[in-house]
Amino acid sequence: MLAVIGLVVGIILGLVLDPTLPAALQPYLPIMIVAALDALFGALRAYLSHTFSDRVFIVSFISNVAIAGLIVWVGDQIGVGSQLSTAVVVVLGIRIFTNAAAIRRAVFHA
């Protein structure tokens, strides 16, 4: 219940305050969102298999976002940012679909 309240408060604050992202961080936002989705799907999979740990989720969420952003930043520094962005999205996409398949099997027993 606390998570739902936090989500609602966060959405309301986002709509009221209308935060802007600095231009320097805008190229990294899509990659960070995909990394966050990977952590969320992993958490749902762990929850359904009764192995969920809030500490593991928080560490996974923060580290996934930071590492994905760091990889793309390093790619930008060496001139291959778009290639590394694609690589990060592919790897995280595979993980998301793997977790989604496990979630589907757990929910539908198929």
What is the per-residue pLDDT across 42-87, written as a single tens digit (0 to 9) for each?
999 999 999 999 899 999 999 999 999 999 999 999 999 888 889 9
Q: Pick the closest to residue 38 from 97, 102, 105, 101 (CA basis).
A: 97
For residue 97, give both structure tokens.
Answer: 């679909």
Give the total number of structural domains in the chain: 1
pLDDT for res 70: 93
Residue 60 located in a structural domain: yes
**At which residue do the structure tokens 């590394």 appear?**
84
Residue 36 located in a structural domain: yes
Residue 37 located in a structural domain: yes
* Number of other residues whose CB lies within 10 A of the CB of residue 31: 23
From CA 109, how far away is CA 31, in angstroms rounded?
32
Residue 33: give the domain boundaries: 22-108
Q: Kindly give, in sequence order, each residue whose CB lies less than 8 Å from that of residue 53, ignoring residues fewer than 6 positions away.
A: 46
3-state secondary structure of 103: helix
